[in-house]
Amino acid sequence: MSRSRTSTPAQPAGPDRARRAFLRGAFLAGGADATPEPLRPPWTDDGRVLDACTRCGDCLRACPEGILIAGDGGFPEVDFGAGSGTCTFCGACAGACRAEVFEPARNPAWTVTAVISEQRCLAVAGVHCETCRDACGEAAVRFRPRLGGPPRPELEPDRCTGCGACAGTCPADAITLQPEAA
């Protein structure tokens, strides 16, 4: 007598960053970039966080996407390599904060935009990769066909919300979010 197993279909779990780690080593070893300033949660700025934050962790626990981490000194930072890898701007972090760290009336949530590193990008290195485009719900990343190789990413800064979806899924960690140029 045989028993049949029934299983429920698994929910899509997002990108498996651990399987992509081998790509990071090859492309990161070639150029050591300076460590950028940490990205603070939406509706905050570095000065406000450092002055008013009690480092209680309420905002970290409230983030449904799991991208807020305790950074240097226990202050909250955004890590697009954690959790779902994207900010949905839901406001749960701001709602959970008992200190006056967040300014939820501030529009937009932050003034950052994606920057694609030519030294790290797989497409620039000749590998066909369009992961960032596929992850971008705002269609801020485009790939135009080009002769002699795979298409290269082009960012439309006016469309970029700074959500980090592209940075969170990039297999080579070629995308960072940086303050918009004034």
Give the annotated binding-site residues for [4Fe-4S] cluster: 53, 56, 59, 63, 87, 90, 93, 97, 160, 163, 166, 170
Residue count (the chain): 182
Query: What residues pair up with 169 in beta bridges, in sequence order?
Result: none
Residue in 126, 144, 54 with CA at minimum distance from that of residue 96: 54
SS3 177: strand
3-state helix, strand and coil shares in percent for the chain, rounded to the nearest 5: 20, 15, 65
Which residues are annotated binding-site positions? 53, 56, 59, 63, 87, 90, 93, 97, 160, 163, 166, 170
